[in-house]
Amino acid sequence: MYSMESNTETKQLRYGTTVICNGKIGVIKSVSKTDSINVQLFDDNSIVSIKKNKVKIIPHSKNELIKYKNIYYVIGNMSLDINLPIYELNYVNSGFNKSKKKFCLKIESTDKNIITINMMPQGPLSKFVRRIQFPPLSEFKQPGPCSHINNCGLALISLNGDSCCAKNGSNLMVVDELPNLISFLLSNGYIIDTSITKMFNASDIRFKTENSNSLICFVTYNV
């Protein structure tokens, strides 16, 4: 369980905001132009109307992805302990089948914006993975002893194996090939985990790397 003091400076009273209302936790369903709001309570799904100054904002919401002690969790049930919100934290990998590795596809900001992957995948996609060395984005971003710059990594090669670029050895997959990649994944037994992808994209957590990676999606091979 995890508790956190409410911070009313970071959230506003609007649709979807989680609040403490009459000693219970709920979510705002509508806000009027007057001084009242409608709140749906979590315990019985009832909707109550209450004045805005009678509620206390909770800084997080159910099913929100948060980072606590360098580990990612999803907020489950929420309760109160002397008007202090208590979160039930679910480890983000707790429901995964360990035999099915979940990998992450990202856009690597190079001169061509290529598609990278964080680990060698299971299944037929592994035939389209190549370890490469990333060129520095500028002369001012050079790796050092404590640098987070990735010198090398795994990149996807183009599904168009008979292209002229393939013959020249520069057939890395670029962003324009994303529709073909998604079709390939869905046609070959891969499952795109939209729930985790949405959580990352909707949360305040961002990939802060020198290469300015952009998350595409999380994928599992359905063996």
Domain annotation for the chain: domains and CATH numbers? 2-91 (2.30.30), 102-221 (no CATH)
Q: Could you tell me if 22 and 48 are in contact, meaning their C-beta atoms sit under 8 angstroms apart?
A: yes
The pLDDT assigned to 158 comes to 93
* Predicted confidence band of residue 206 (pLDDT cuts 50, 70, 90): low
Q: How many residues does the chain have?
A: 223
User: How far is the C-alpha of 114 from the C-alpha of 107, rounded, in Å?
Assistant: 6
> How far is it, in rounded angstroms, from Cα 216 to Cα 214?
6
Mean pLDDT, residues 206-218: 63
Whether pTM exceeds 0.75: no
User: Which tens digit of pLDDT belongs to each residue from 135-183?
Assistant: 665 555 555 555 555 567 899 999 986 554 544 446 899 999 999 999 9
pLDDT at 45 over 80: yes
- Chain position carrying tokens 């091979």: 221
Strands (E), 83-156: 84-91, 102-108, 114-117, 129-133, 152-156
The C-alpha atoms of residue 215 and residue 107 are separated, in whole angstroms, by 7
Q: Which is it for the CA torsion 117, 119, 122, 127, positive or negative? A: positive
Least trusted range by pLDDT, from 59-68, 116-125, 166-175: 166-175
Secondary-structure breakdown of the chain: helix, strand, coil percentages, each rounded to the nearest 5: 15, 40, 45
DSSP helix/strand/coil, 181:
helix
